[in-house]
Amino acid sequence: MFKFTISKKLKNARVARFATPHGVIDTPAFIPVATKATIKTLDSNDVRNIGFNSILSNTYHLMLQPGADLVKKMGGLHNFMNWQGPIFTDSGGYQVFSLGKGLAYGVGKVCKKNNSAEASTNKKSLVKITDNGVEFRSHLDGKKIFLRPEDSIRIQEKLGADIIFAFDECTSPTDSRAYLEKSLERTHKWAERCLKAHKRKDQALFGIIQGGDYKKLREAGARFISALPFNGFGIGGSFGKKEMLNVLEWTIPFLPENKPRHMLGIGVIEDIFEAVGRGVDTFDCVEPTRLGRHGTLFTKSGRIRILSAKYRADKKPIEADCKCELCINYSRSYLHHLFKANEILGMRLATIHNLTFMHNLMKNIRQSIKSGKFNYFKSQFLRKFRQF
């Protein structure tokens, strides 16, 4: 039912086809995030038209609204949101971090490690972690929710994604080594409990490797998780560029060649190149869509902020050779106006553009590996694509 076939290797980078019950994912692939069963501002046809066949949704968000039982009753996530391609769901483990220490210490994923992370914010953690599971206070209504590994699996089975993840504790850069050791042990016990709880054979279960920024812990995590009969692996808890490179160096060598590797929450373009080069197959991240909604658009010459006054009377499209709905039909001037006027259409068109950019980028990355020119493509691309 699941088959992972590598067609080309170039050092650690690889091109593969990951067959799932709802279609084949050509990897390396970027998986756009449909947090609450929609990629914000887009419907399923929009996402298909851009070229994507796979998406990732968030278990935590969907269990709160509309609820896993409702989604199951509606025929599962595929039918509910009319998406007939592969779907990933995360396990809720990331929310253990983001609603817990992420909130309390002001640490974020996409916005990198907060330098003042040691200083606590005035926000309270919504999370209590025990060996048995995690108690959340819903960010919507404050209701208490207890999530054990078994619950996460049961919920993900109801949601019905093709690829689901084991419930883990995503640790924080603010955690001590002693805490990380304890947490890693807990994540490993949870991994075993998830495997035991998981019944649906039409779902691939991925184990998640944690271990913070410590070589020894990451290696221990990779060894332990990769020895379990998971269908694939997620690499979690990586914050910051340098940290991510370390995590990959310490983790990938221990993972079996013949199973897919997903990098959780990574999607900054520079990071994708690094991770692909080190053997990661799939990525999910809200960055391209979130940046789009805030008026930052990807071009081959870098990211542009459309609200800048210099685009006010700019008749050119965002990118001359881009074939997306935005670039074919509208000028930078029009998009500038839409953002200035707080028109939702601006967010939508920017989202479509950024996702088109990501889709083309991944296609070019796959092509560059196939033709043995990944490093050349990477350096050419990144030379033009400047960080803002």
Q: Which residues does the annotation mark as catalytic?
A: 90, 284
Contacting residue, 1, 11, 23, 70, with a second copy by CB under 8 A: 70
3-state helix/strand/coil string of 166-191 = CCCCCCCCCCCHHHHHHHHHHHHHHH
Q: Coil, helix or strand for 61?
A: helix
Q: How far is the CB of 37 from a second copy (least distance, A)?
A: 7
Q: Which two tokens stand for residue 163?
A: 């690829």
349 sits near a second copy (criterion: CB under 8 A): yes
- C-alpha dihedral (79, 85, 86, 92), degrees to nearest 10: -50
334 sits near a second copy (criterion: CB under 8 A): yes
76 sits near a second copy (criterion: CB under 8 A): no
Name which of residues 304 to 323 contact a second copy (CB under 8 A): 312-313, 315
258 sits near a second copy (criterion: CB under 8 A): no
Contacting residue, 329, 364, 371, 380, with a second copy by CB under 8 A: 329
Residues forming beta bridges with residue 208, ordered by sequence position: 234
Half-sphere exposure (CA, 13 Å, Cβ side) for 381? 22
Nearest residue to 276 (alpha-carbon basis) of 367, 213, 193, 340: 367
Span between the terminal Cα atoms of the chain, in Å: 43
2 sits near a second copy (criterion: CB under 8 A): no
74 sits near a second copy (criterion: CB under 8 A): yes
* Integer Cα distance of 335 and 347 in angstroms: 9
Q: Which stretch, 40-48, 194-202, 240-248, 371-379, contacts a second copy (CB under 8 A)?
A: 40-48
Contacting residue, 101, 336, 359, 378, with a second copy by CB under 8 A: 336
Q: How far is the CB of 345 from a second copy (least distance, A)?
A: 5
Judged by CB under 8 A, how many residues of this single chain contact a second copy? Answer: 39
- Residue number, 74 or 111, with CB nearest to a second copy: 74
Q: How far is the CB of 90 from a second copy (least distance, A)?
A: 17
Place of tokens 């689901």: 164
> What angle do the packed helices 177-197 and 149-159 form, to 10 degrees?
50
Contacting residue, 44, 58, 59, 183, with a second copy by CB under 8 A: 44
Place of tokens 């002693």: 178
* Integer Cα distance of 236 and 295 in angstroms: 28
Q: How far is the CB of 362 from a second copy (least distance, A)?
A: 24
Q: Kindly list the strands in the beta sheet with 3-10, ordered across the sheet, starting from the edge strand earlier in the chain.
A: 3-10, 13-20, 23-27
Give the binding site for a second copy (CB under 8 A): 36-38, 40-45, 61, 65-66, 70, 73-75, 80-82, 312-313, 315, 325, 329-331, 333-334, 336-338, 340-341, 343-345, 347-349
